[in-house]
């Protein structure tokens, strides 16, 4: 049996306790069950170095919410968790740790380094999971997987070997970002681009007869040795005649062609570029279009190779630049020098200038794999919400290039590639005894590892045990829904679809929900450098997990980025407290509602016994359930949460609980039904407070999250009650407003006149006088038909075609008129002043945006006030 409900809502007192109980009772666990409808979401695996951020709020909270809802609906719902080894990020963390001990990874060697990483994961890898628990996320922890665990590693090796045998994986020479200090390739995202001062050299390439030829502008004269062509824009009239002729390279002189390529910008330098496919990414692309060779003249240690003039060999690349400049000057080829700024690529770890170099890497041929993945979205078997992201996905697949999957990183899946002493490549699950080409028996495994995204591309089936034919794979593949962020539509979503289709013949999911970006209130991206990033764990500490979750998802309108307002978390906490107090009230007024802990339901009385307000709240409940179901189906978490907010706050608390104070015999069972249904609908979003309160009310089953999900039959549609109650509430509000007039004496409210009211309305108002007294906060209201002319003096309000009149004496009217005129005068003066201030030249430009915003809001407020006061004056 539960403790009595404490007076105050305190998230800390309930959240950790409930989480521990859910986990120990296996509330999140599922077993494959072919007899039940599955609902499966594979969790995008967070990095083991990861920490919860606001993106987890907008992306992982929806996974938790939907899994909980589908479970309550009786489906076999499971959210499958796991983590990614995040090779680069993790290696970075370990290297930093080593640096503090005065060591580098080379002091340890790959084996010891990997051991160190495993120990690190053991110690810190699950911090993000603890944060997920604190946020109330409930994946099936018993099914936790890791991209480097034995099963997933086996899947990686099998996929590599299968693709290799099908000719879809190959080894080739390609330009990579190389850090000569770290001795590794870097992914594009690991290269930092910074503005740097440089010199632009104007170098003349003469034609073969020694004529003027063409002048190119370059910042890298030391790579002239590797030039394969000079390129100009095809529309550049200055060079039209030269296209197709040859010019001579001024260092290591050989003839190279002048080619035309639209990528050349005519207004940069002289409009002519030297093309060095071996040392520049753009040049490599131009070179590919024109069938140019790619030569390397700089080695992995950043010194010049032997493919240059003798005096340059072995020189550091920057020394070689100095020598190239002086040599060109001596040869009369240097026309001029100009200062220049360029975006220089540096290594994010050591700041060394990155050198684009050619190296032998492994690639996946993507066109074959992309075709069925493209067909999946075009045929509608794979759908995106919001729909516009299908374009992002399709565009990428249409323009797909081969995927470089090898990395010179120590952490990760080693390539199942073994070379013999004669450098033959053998691809096999384990080291072969002899080379399959030459029989040599000295085989060594390639040191490279696979791109982290290679293993995550297999995620939806590798976590289910593939390549084994497990019951999980049979029951839960394909999964139902993938929820993720837009940045990884190509990196991850498209690759999962390709691999799923290729290896299992079916898309890994039919639907992809792309979640919004959480920005700050001014619409800026949250970032460390701006200092505007919010930490969800701090929100949990301040407002509780329920309020944090509600605060985030209530701002998520389908498809729109969120300008996150932290006040929503505070509002959500107040909302939690409101529900808490509503249940406390119910338990105090109706002790028969206190749960005994046993399976217990309170049967509803027959409909004929229901009062109008009973019928009305049951109608509102039925409508609320329908609207929540529609919102959930559309992934409109904002509408879902706000529908419940207004139902619980405005209808249950503000109205029904007020009228239930009459303790009519129908109140207790209806209140129990309404409260426990509302709690169930809110449970996926605010799991803790709803569980705690549900346990105190009559209920069947052990946990709210086990269901059932309220169906609209839990309420009862009744449009007549809905309409009548709307009239009564509107009338009550008018009564309340009239009563709120400051100079009005309370007793003057007793008699209300209605002009233009029909018998039906009068009848309703008389019959439901109790509701009007409660909601109008008036001791006696006597609605009388206005047959014998209007009262001499009256305050008036309109209610549709009916005029509601409150008779007052002449003196009151005079006093009130005078007060209102004075008020209007002052408001007009204030508005004038503020309008002048806002229109003053320079104000909007100079004042901070939030000040301008505040003043504009105040102006709107003043105008609204003026309108209301004028209306009141008119009504007198």
Nearest approach, Cβ of residue 181 and Zn ion (Å) = 4
Give whichever of 426 and 695 is closer to Zn ion, judged by the CB atom: 426
Instruction: Annotate 129-144 with three-state secondary structure.
Output: HHHHHHCCCCCCHHHC
Give whichever of 420 and 496 is closer to Zn ion, judged by the CB atom: 420
Nearest approach, Cβ of residue 430 and Zn ion (Å) = 17
Residues 307-336 that bind Zn ion (CB under 5 A): none
How do beta strands 214-218 and 449-450 pair? Answer: unpaired
C-alpha of 800 from chain center: 45
* Residue 419: strand, helix, or coil: strand
Nearest approach, Cβ of residue 421 and Zn ion (Å) = 7
Nearest approach, Cβ of residue 350 and Zn ion (Å) = 3
Closest CA to 289 of 273, 275, 268, 274: 275
DSSP 221: G
Nearest approach, Cβ of residue 354 and Zn ion (Å) = 8
Cα–Cα distance measured from residue 563 to residue 341, given in angstroms and rounded to the nearest whole number: 36
Question: Which residues, other chains included, contact 768 with Cβ-Cβ below 8 Å and sequence gap of 6+?
Answer: 612, 724, 728
Q: How many residues bind Zn ion (CB under 5 A)?
A: 14
Pattern of binders to Zn ion over 645-684, x per CB under 5 A? ----------------------------------------
Nearest approach, Cβ of residue 301 and Zn ion (Å) = 13
Interface with Zn ion (CB under 5 A), residue from 85, 174, 220, 349: 349
Give whichever of 182 and 417 is closer to Zn ion, judged by the CB atom: 182
Give whichever of 184 and 327 is closer to Zn ion, judged by the CB atom: 184
Pattern of binders to Zn ion over 148-167, x per CB under 5 A? --------------------
Nearest approach, Cβ of residue 165 and Zn ion (Å) = 18
Closest CA to 549 of 46, 45, 129, 63: 63
CB 474 within 8 A of CB 34: yes
Tokens of 353: 């200038």
**What values do phi and psi take at 335, rounded to 5?**
-80, -50
DSSP 800: T
Pattern of binders to Zn ion over 856-875, x per CB under 5 A? --------------------
- Taking each helix axis as running N to C, give the angle between helix 637-646 and helix 612-633, from 0 to 180 degrees, rounded to the nearest 10: 170
Q: From 344-352, 571-579, 773-781, 811-819, give the range in contact with Zn ion by CB under 5 A.
A: 344-352
Q: From 347-355, 464-472, 558-566, 742-750, give the range in contact with Zn ion by CB under 5 A.
A: 347-355
Q: Is the peptide bond before 788 cis (omega within 30 degrees of 0)?
A: no
Interface with Zn ion (CB under 5 A), residue from 119, 350, 607, 840: 350
Residues 439-478 that bind Zn ion (CB under 5 A): 440
Nearest approach, Cβ of residue 437 and Zn ion (Å) = 4
C-alpha of 11 from chain center: 25
Give whichever of 245 and 352 is closer to Zn ion, judged by the CB atom: 352
CA dihedral 470, 476, 478, 482 (to 10 degrees): -130
Tokens of 252: 């290591």
CB 796 within 8 A of CB 756: no
Give whichever of 300 and 649 is closer to Zn ion, judged by the CB atom: 300
Cα–Cα distance measured from residue 250 to residue 817, given in angstroms and rounded to the nearest whole number: 96
Cα–Cα distance measured from residue 219 to residue 339, given in angstroms and rounded to the nearest whole number: 10
Nearest approach, Cβ of residue 180 and Zn ion (Å) = 8
Give whichever of 263 and 350 is closer to Zn ion, judged by the CB atom: 350
Nearest approach, Cβ of residue 300 and Zn ion (Å) = 12
Give whichever of 440 and 581 is closer to Zn ion, judged by the CB atom: 440
Nearest approach, Cβ of residue 686 and Zn ion (Å) = 47
Interface with Zn ion (CB under 5 A), residue from 27, 69, 242, 347: 347
Cα–Cα distance measured from residue 645 to residue 576, given in angstroms and rounded to the nearest whole number: 10
Closest CA to 272 of 207, 329, 363, 348: 207
Give whichever of 147 and 184 is closer to Zn ion, judged by the CB atom: 184
Give whichever of 417 and 499 is closer to Zn ion, judged by the CB atom: 417
Pattern of binders to Zn ion over 405-444, x per CB under 5 A? ---------------x-x-x----------x-xx-x----
Tokens of 678: 């509302």
Residues 8-47 that bind Zn ion (CB under 5 A): none
Closest CA to 148 of 462, 413, 405, 464: 413
Nearest approach, Cβ of residue 100 and Zn ion (Å) = 18
Q: Is the peptide bond before 143 cis (omega within 30 degrees of 0)?
A: no
Nearest approach, Cβ of residue 98 and Zn ion (Å) = 15
Residues 500-559 that bind Zn ion (CB under 5 A): none
- Only one residue has tokens 């105090």, namely 588
Interface with Zn ion (CB under 5 A), residue from 282, 352, 392, 642: 352
Question: Which residues, other chains included, contact 874 with Cβ-Cβ below 8 Å and sequence gap of 6+?
Answer: none
CB 554 within 8 A of CB 573: no
Q: Does 281 bind Zn ion (CB under 5 A)?
A: no
Give whichever of 48 and 179 is closer to Zn ion, judged by the CB atom: 179
Give whichever of 184 and 796 is closer to Zn ion, judged by the CB atom: 184
Give whichever of 345 and 707 is closer to Zn ion, judged by the CB atom: 345
- Backbone φ/ψ region at 384: left (φ over 0), alpha (ψ -120 to 50), beta: beta
Helix ranges, 235-388 (H): 281-290, 317-330, 366-378
Nearest approach, Cβ of residue 360 and Zn ion (Å) = 16
Nearest approach, Cβ of residue 195 and Zn ion (Å) = 20
CA dihedral 331, 335, 339, 342 (to 10 degrees): -80
Give whichever of 420 and 618 is closer to Zn ion, judged by the CB atom: 420
Cα–Cα distance measured from residue 874 to residue 870, given in angstroms and rounded to the nearest whole number: 6
Q: How many CB atoms lie within 10 A of CB 747?
A: 9
Nearest approach, Cβ of residue 166 and Zn ion (Å) = 22
Give whichever of 418 and 543 is closer to Zn ion, judged by the CB atom: 418
CA 480 to each of CA 60, 255, 483: distance values in angstroms, whole numbers, following the listed order:
15, 61, 10
Give whichever of 435 and 681 is closer to Zn ion, judged by the CB atom: 435
Residues 164-183 that bind Zn ion (CB under 5 A): 179, 181-182
C-alpha of 488 from chain center: 11
Residues 763-792 that bind Zn ion (CB under 5 A): none
Would you tell me which residues interact with Zn ion (CB under 5 A)? 179, 181-182, 347, 349-350, 352, 420, 422, 424, 435, 437-438, 440
């Amino acid at each position: 049996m539960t403790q009595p409900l404490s007076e105050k809502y305190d998230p800390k007192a309930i959240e950790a306790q409930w989480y521990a109980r859910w986990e120990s009772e296996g509330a999140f666990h599922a077993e494959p069950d072919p007899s039940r409808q599955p609902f499966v979401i594979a969790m995008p695996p967070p990095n083991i170095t990861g920490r919860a951020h606001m993106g987890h709020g907008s992306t992982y909270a929806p996974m938790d919410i939907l899994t909980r809802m589908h479970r309550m609906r009786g489906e076999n719902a499971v959210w499958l968790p796991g983590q990614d080894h995040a090779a680069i990020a993790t290696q970075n963390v370990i290297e930093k740790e080593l640096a503090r001990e005065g060591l580098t990874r080379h002091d340890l060697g790959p084996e010891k380094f990997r051991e160190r990483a495993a120990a690190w994961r053991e110690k810190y890898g699950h911090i993000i999971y603890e944060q997920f628990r604190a946020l109330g996320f409930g994946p099936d922890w018993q099914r936790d997987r890791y991209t480097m665990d034995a099963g997933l590693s086996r899947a990686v090796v099998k996929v590599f070997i299968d693709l290799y045998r099908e000719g879809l994986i190959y080894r080739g020479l390609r330009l990579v970002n190389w850090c000569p200090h770290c001795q590794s390739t870097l992914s594009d995202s690991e290269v930092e681009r910074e503005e740097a001062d440089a010199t632009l050299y104007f170098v003349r390439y003469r034609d073969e007869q020694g004529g003027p030829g063409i002048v190119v502008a370059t910042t890298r004269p030391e790579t002239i040795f590797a030039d394969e062509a000079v390129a100009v824009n095809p529309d550049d009239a200055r060079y039209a005649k030269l296209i197709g002729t040859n010019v001579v390279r001024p260092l290591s002189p050989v003839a190279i062609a002048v080619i035309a390529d639209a990528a050349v910008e005519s207004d940069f330098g002289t409009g002519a570029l030297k093309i060095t496919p071996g040392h520049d990414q753009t040049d490599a692309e131009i070179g590919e279009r024109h069938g140019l060779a790619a030569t390397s003249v700089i080695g992995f240690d950043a010194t010049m190779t032997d493919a240059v003039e003798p005096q340059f060999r072995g020189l550091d690349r920057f020394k070689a630049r100095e020598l190239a400049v002086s040599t060109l000057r001596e040869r009369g080829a240097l026309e001029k020098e100009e200062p220049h700024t360029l975006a220089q690529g540096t290594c994010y770890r050591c700041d060394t200038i990155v050198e684009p170099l050619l190296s032998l890497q492994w690639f996946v041929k993507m066109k074959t794999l992309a075709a069925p993945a493209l067909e999946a979205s075009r045929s509608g078997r794979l759908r995106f919400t919001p729909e516009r992201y299908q374009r992002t996905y399709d565009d990428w697949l249409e323009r797909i290039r081969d995927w470089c999957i090898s990395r010179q990183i120590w952490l990760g899946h080693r390539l199942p590639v073994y070379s013999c002493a004669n450098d033959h490549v053998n691809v096999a699950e384990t080291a072969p005894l002899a080379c399959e080409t030459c029989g040599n028996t000295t085989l060594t495994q390639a040191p490279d590892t696979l791109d982290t995204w290679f293993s995550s591309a297999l995620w939806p089936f590798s976590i289910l045990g593939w390549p084994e034919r497990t019951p999980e794979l049979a029951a839960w593949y394909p999964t139902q829904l993938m929820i993720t962020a837009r940045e990884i539509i190509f990196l991850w979503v498209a690759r999962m679809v390709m691999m799923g289709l290729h290896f299992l013949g079916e898309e890994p999911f039919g639907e992809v929900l792309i979640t919004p970006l959480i920005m700050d209130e001014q619409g800026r991206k949250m970032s460390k450098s701006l200092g505007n990033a919010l930490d969800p764990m701090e929100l949990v500490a301040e407002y509780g997990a329920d309020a944090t979750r509600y605060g985030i998802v209530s701002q998520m309108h389908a498809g729109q980025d969120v300008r996150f307002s932290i006040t929503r978390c505070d509002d959500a906490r107040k909302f939690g407290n409101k529900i808490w107090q509503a249940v406390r009230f119910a338990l105090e007024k109706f002790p028969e509602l206190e749960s005994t802990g046993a399976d217990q339901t309170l049967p509803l009385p027959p409909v004929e016994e229901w009062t109008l307000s009973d019928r009305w709240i049951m109608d509102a409940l039925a409508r609320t359930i329908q609207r929540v179901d529609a919102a959930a189906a559309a992934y409109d978490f904002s509408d879902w949460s706000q529908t419940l907010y207004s139902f619980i706050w405005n209808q249950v608390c503000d109205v029904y609980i007020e009228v239930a104070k009459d303790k009519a015999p129908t109140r207790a069972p209806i209140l129990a039904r309404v409260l426990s249904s509302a709690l169930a609908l809110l449970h996926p979003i605010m799991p803790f407070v709803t569980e705690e309160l549900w346990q105190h009310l009559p209920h069947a089953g052990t946990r709210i999250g086990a269901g059932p999900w309220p169906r609209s039959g839990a309420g009862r549609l009744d449009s007549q009650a809905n309409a009548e109650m709307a009239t009564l509430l509107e009338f009550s509000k008018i009564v309340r407003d009239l009563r709120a007039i400051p100079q009005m004496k309370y007793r003057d409210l007793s008699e209300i006149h209605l002009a233009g009211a029909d018998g039906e309305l009068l009848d309703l108002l008389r019959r439901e006088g109790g509701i009007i007294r409660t909601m109008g906060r008036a001791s006696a209201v006597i609605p009388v038909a206005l047959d014998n002319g209007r009262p001499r003096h009256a305050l008036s309000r309109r209610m549709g075609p009916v005029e509601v009149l409150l008779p007052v004496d002449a003196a009151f009217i005079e006093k009130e008129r005078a007060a209102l005129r004075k008020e209007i005068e002052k408001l007009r003066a204030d508005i004038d002043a503020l309008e002048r201030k806002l229109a003053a030249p320079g104000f909007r430009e100079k004042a901070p945006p939030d000040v301008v915003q505040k003043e504009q809001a105040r102006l709107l407020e003043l105008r609204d006030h003026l309108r209301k006061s004028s209306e009141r004056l008119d009504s007198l």
